[in-house]
Structure 1
């Protein structure tokens, strides 16, 4: 159990290091935070905090920095999460537009969170097991191109652009879409590829000259659809963190961002109620042991869930980030469930 003096010194060290990314010494604590203790007393308490695992000494400075254990103690004991009214109004205004699809709302929330935290945000939309194909619509773009818009019952949208060679090709494309709408309406997205092969392909091969090209194009689109529930915002924010001045660390970070499958490991975290905080080695992202991941889940329907997470260095403003993740995930859930009820 830490004394009140030790708690105050430790809290000041965490907040100073989060702000400056520089190891903290007793002189800074005395002058900037005007602590009512002597330099010797502060140094003794810092030594105690280091011996007990709350602080670490760096190789390049006599100052201390918080350890993983220290950050965990700070998160569990000293944080006082709060979101100010200006931010609440901003979030309400942005999420208040009810004429958008589910993936647009999730992407927008991802962007808001990234802008407010100046860190990287990743959101996982609902698993495609819970989505069903609603319809495919062809929309002309130019004289020689059309886009096929694929929509689910949850408002998830994917586009596929086709170059139109001639009228015969456009007629084949239209026939292809009509067949799929007739046979696949209401099919769960994760079963569409199977149904395309079993039910749609034989009909297309009998009716349409270029059936193989069109079939493969739509098959690719649906495969992408079933795996496209990962949304990013603010990837570049991590590049400005001092921790990533190291080229090797930067390379690992960029590699992790390029592998969207690795982010799906965030999904189990968000099953927990409330906000999940994973610090350093607790992070589920392989090869990135010096990052923290703060996540919360949100319902998108009666059975389906998504999650939203902030990824940053272990030196992040936990109080602010936890507050924002919790508030935005709850606001997002309210909007999505409200839209779901309106659809019904």
Structure 2
């Protein structure tokens, strides 16, 4: 027997009721709560089929049924309606993110907002340096022979480095160095800067070459060697709201969420673009997180993808609402980056 539309409707109703009530769902409650257009006997037959196929299970004798991870997966794959945020919620999201003063503020506001909207654990990856381009390089004199190099990327990240020269550099030479490095590097992807930096040294005048050689070393460290990714996390306390959804202790989940490499893996490869990614239960092959679901997507300006964001929660998750929140927040963050 194949899975028909009515059985999908029954599964959808079971998932929705169980997410809402956290109580096993019986045929009588399905009849009373949902306009399925069939008798409770027919629904019982459909539930028997769904149980036999592994989409629902009976947690204990004489109880209703609850979805399995396989059932949640089918529910998500066949999801036809995403619960949109209300107009008031969308305005609040826009206003809250628009008030951010810099990239750090954008990220911290985003992760707090996602945690509040979904009542789950929220994770936001800072824009990846490897996917960023140089917007501006500034040189600021601090003392004789010492300058501060400030790099601003097109994604709003700001990196600062101290440059110690073997001899003092005149104000005129500082202006020349600033002009040369900006002419050569602005608009260049960070991963493509090493050859341009070498060209800066080769093309410098003999008088300026020692200073440019020193500066190029720090430029390489700033533009190329800063490979670590940064992650922001919020809402871990929300796990306690769902403690009954997790068998055993919350400790393995909390320990896993402390590892940045785990969080990056949860967000998935951002090479996949802004496509929504949902992993359920055992699909998360990270120790301690096989009882969770993750909803994530990429974000970035003008259709590019520079980072990822998402939420982690129990498999008994409001998937339509969570998907809407993740998509909406990602879209607004992308718009903010495009404006900067």
Pair in the same fold by TM > 0.5: yes
1:142: which partner in 2?
none
How far does residue 157 in structure 1 lie from its aligned partner after superposition?
5.4
SS in 1 for 2:81: coil
Match of 1:211 in 2: none
Specify the alignment match of 2:50 in structure 1.
49
Matched, 1:262 2:259: no
1:285 CA drift (Å): 3.6
1:98-137 to structure 2, matched below 5 A, reads 100-129=101-130, 130=132
CA distance in 2, matches of 1:61, 1:77: 29
Deviation at 1:244, TM superposition (A): 5.4
Question: C-alpha distance in 2, partners of 1:23/1:243?
Answer: 13
Distance of 2:271 and 2:318 partners within structure 1: 20
Distance 2:139 2:26 in 1: 63
Cα–Cα, structure 1 residues 79 and 67, in superposed 2: closer, same or farther, change >3 Å?
farther
What is the DSSP-based 3-state SS (H/G/I as helix, E as strand, rest coil) of the residue aligned with 1:30?
A: helix
Instruction: Decide which structure has greater helix share.
Output: 1
Structure 1 unaligned regions, length at least 5: 139-147, 160-172, 191-202, 204-218, 340-344
Q: Secondary structure at the match of 2:279?
A: strand
Q: Is the 8 A contact 1:269 1:276 kept in 2?
A: no
Taking a change above 3 Å as real, the CA distance of residues 95 and 121 of structure 1, as seen in their structure-2 partners, is same
What TM-score, normalized to structure 2? 0.70
- Matched-pair contact (CA < 8 Å) for 2:231–2:263: yes
CA distance in 1, matches of 2:279, 2:158: 32
When the two structures are aligned, how many residues end up with a matched partner? Answer: 292
Distance 1:241 1:149, change over 3 A: farther
SS at match of 2:295: strand
Cα distance in 2 for residues equivalent to 1:14 and 1:51: 17
Unmatched 5+ stretches in structure 2: 142-147, 192-210, 212-220
Give TM-score scaled by structure 1 length.
0.69
CA distance in 2, matches of 1:253, 1:20: 23
Does residue 84 (structure 1) correspond to residue 91 (structure 2)? The answer is no
Give distance in 2, aligned partners of 1:34 and 1:100: 49
CA contact (8 A) 1:124 1:267 kept: no
State the Cα distance separating 1:242 from its structure 2 match.
Answer: 3.4
Rounded to whole Å, the distance in 1 between the matches of 2:98 and 2:153 is 21
Corresponding residue for residue 94 of structure 1: 96
